[in-house]
Structure formats: structure tokens, C-alpha cells
């Protein structure tokens, strides 16, 4: 009888030891109660640009701010991308803007919380290759708008753009007016397009010349460009740059 009892106790002790070993292994894996070592985790937080508010309706200027149709402040955040649209040598070498200006580029801009593309144009390339030019431009604007980008059409009337005036292409000319009337007519119903009428004009003789042009020459004023755009019914925002390549002028 004592022998049987001793054997039973021995089996019980073995069972307790085995159970203890199993329990320790479970606790080690779980990292509970000081058993085992737990590896600390690191949380990486991505830093992205501030989220941009999406405008409702056609943006407009109110005081010193841009607001949407409901009066909410609207800030443009984006990038300028040059292309064959404003470099005549690139256009004439059969390079086309849509090679780089496409949905992939615009979606990437949108992912970075941009909402605007400033797109340099040439009235001289447009005049020579109007059909192909507008086909490319329509495609770019449609894809940019689809990605949530407003397109600021920016006239670069200079040597690089093919101007026949050479180094004298520093101020709006009569040809620019015809260009803007055609472009404004074409896009007047698109609320996601804006017009920057002349990139970095140089200092005019006076503010009156800046506004109305120089009598007896082919130079016209910025008021002429604005009036031309409005005359075709386009109501989008018009961007007008000062003289001296953006630095203003002190002449009156």
C-alpha cells in the first residue's frame, strides 16, 4: 500500500514539474511578469504638407484674399512646370507637353496636397501650331482638373517662347491680346482655370504706360489684356504682375 502511494506521489510531482515548465514557456512568449524580453515598438509618423481646402464653385478675389463661391478663404498651393508649351525649340523638336504633364504627375502633386499648377504658355507657339497646341492644352487641363488642381495659365512672351521681338519682348504686345481673347473664350466655362496675363514684365516708362501701353508702339497695357478677357465673358481670376520683373517700379 505504501509502495502504491509513493508511486502516485512521484507521478504527481512529475506532472507538477511539467506543468510548471509549460507555464513558464507560455509566460516567456507573452512577455508577462518579467519573463523573457519584449522588444519596444517604434511608431513612425509621416510628415505631410497641410491639407488644402477644396474650393466650392469658381474662386474669386475678395479684398486681399481668394475665396470660393461660398466665401470661404481659399489658398493656392502648387508648382510651376515648364514644358514645350513655352519653349519653342522643344516643341519644334517634336517633344510634347503630355509626356510629362499627365495624370501621373498631377496625382503626385495632389498627394502632396497641392491644388494648383502654374502652366507657362507661348502665344507664338500657339499661333503657329494652334490645333495641336490646343489639343495638348485641353488634355493637360482636363487631367490636372481631374486630380483636383487649378491651372493658372501664364503667358511667357519672350525669346525662349519664340517671340520675334527678341530682347525687346519685355512688355505685352498687340499679339498677346488676340491670344488671351482666344484662350479666355475657349476656357471661360471652366471654373478651375485662371489667367496670368504676362510673366515678369520689365519696368514700363510710367504706371500709365503699364496700364494702357505706349502710344505709337505695339506695346499695350495690362488694362487692355484684362478688358479683352472680360469682353468674351470669362469671369475667372486674372493675375496681373507689376513691372521690373516682379520688383515693381517707383515711377508714377
- Quick: pLDDT tens for 65-116: 999 888 899 899 999 999 999 999 999 999 999 999 999 999 999 999 999 9
What pLDDT score was predicted for residue 220?
Answer: 94
Domain extent, residue 227, equals 60-239
Contact between 243 and 201 under an 8 Å Cβ cutoff? The reply is: yes
pLDDT over 80 at 250, yes or no: no
* Residue 38 sits in the same domain as residue 81: no
* Residue 117 sits in the same domain as residue 155: yes
Phi, psi of 63 (to 5 degrees): 65, -125
Q: Is residue 249 part of a domain?
A: no
* Residue 82 sits in the same domain as residue 138: yes
Q: Is residue 248 part of a domain?
A: no
pLDDT over 60 at 251, yes or no: no
User: In this structure, what CATH number is given to the domain that contains residue 105?
Assistant: 3.20.20.80
Q: Is residue 166 part of a domain?
A: yes
* Residue 74 sits in the same domain as residue 116: yes
Distance between CA atoms of 216 and 74, rounded to whole angstroms? 41
> Collapsing DSSP states into helix, strand and coil, what is residue 20?
helix
* Residue 41 sits in the same domain as residue 64: no
Question: Which cell numbers hold the place of 39?
Answer: 522588444
Distance between CA atoms of 180 and 110, rounded to whole angstroms? 28
* Residue 207 sits in the same domain as residue 109: yes
Q: Is residue 244 part of a domain?
A: no
Amino acid at each position: 500500500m505504501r509502495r502504491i502511494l509513493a508511486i502516485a506521489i512521484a507521478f504527481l510531482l512529475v506532472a507538477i514539474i511539467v506543468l510548471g515548465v509549460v507555464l513558464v514557456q507560455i509566460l516567456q512568449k507573452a512577455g508577462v511578469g518579467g519573463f523573457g524580453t519584449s522588444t519596444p515598438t517604434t511608431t513612425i509618423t509621416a510628415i505631410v504638407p497641410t491639407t488644402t481646402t477644396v474650393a466650392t464653385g469658381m474662386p474669386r478675389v475678395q479684398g486681399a484674399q481668394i475665396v470660393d463661391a461660398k466665401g470661404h478663404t481659399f489658398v493656392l498651393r502648387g508648382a510651376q512646370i515648364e514644358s514645350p508649351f513655352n519653349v519653342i525649340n522643344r516643341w519644334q523638336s517634336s517633344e510634347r507637353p503630355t509626356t510629362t504633364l499627365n495624370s501621373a504627375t498631377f496625382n503626385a502633386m495632389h498627394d502632396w496636397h497641392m491644388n494648383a499648377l502654374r502652366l507657362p504658355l507661348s502665344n507664338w507657339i500657339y499661333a503657329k501650331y494652334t490645333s495641336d497646341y490646343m489639343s495638348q492644352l485641353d488634355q493637360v487641363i482636363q487631367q490636372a482638373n481631374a486630380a483636383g488642381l487649378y491651372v493658372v495659365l501664364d503667358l511667357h512672351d519672350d525669346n525662349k517662347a519664340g517671340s520675334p521681338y527678341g530682347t525687346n519682348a519685355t512688355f505685352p504686345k498687340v499679339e498677346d491680346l488676340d491670344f488671351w481673347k482666344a484662350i479666355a473664350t475657349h476656357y471661360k466655362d471652366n471654373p478651375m482655370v485662371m489667367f496670368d496675363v504676362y510673366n515678369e514684365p520689365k519696368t514700363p516708362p510710367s504706371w500709365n504706360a503699364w496700364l494702357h501701353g505706349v502710344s505709337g508702339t505695339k506695346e499695350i497695357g495690362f488694362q487692355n489684356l484684362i478688358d479683352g478677357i472680360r469682353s468674351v465673358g470669362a469671369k475667372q481670376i486674372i493675375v496681373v504682375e507689376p513691372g521690373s520683373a516682379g520688383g515693381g517700379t517707383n515711377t508714377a
